[in-house]
Amino acid sequence: MANRDDVDRGLAECVDCGSIYAAREWPTGEIQPIGSDGCECGSTDFVLVDDVDEESNGAPT
């Protein structure tokens, strides 16, 4: 198991339905929602998202 210092936290988006979750990114690159094994739609594929949309000139989305 990875050391807590090796795990990053952020927001992740389900690639199938677009739902957003608080997630952990493990040193292996795996992204897992905190508190579950996958999305409510059944997908286990996620991508990290930025907290700020770059096209909005830094304004929160």
Q: What is the pLDDT of residue 26?
A: 93
- pLDDT above 90 as % of the chain: 70
Q: Sketch the domain layout of the chain as residue ranges.
A: 4-50
pTM above 0.75, yes or no: no
CA distances from 5 to 2, 11, 25, 26, 48 (A): 8, 18, 11, 10, 18
CA distances from 45 to 3, 55, 57, 58 (A): 23, 25, 29, 27
Ranking 10-19, 21-30, 49-58 by mean pLDDT, the lowest is 49-58
Task: Copy the structure tokens of residue 41.
Answer: 């739609």
Give residue-wise pLDDT tens across range 16-34: 999 999 999 999 999 999 9
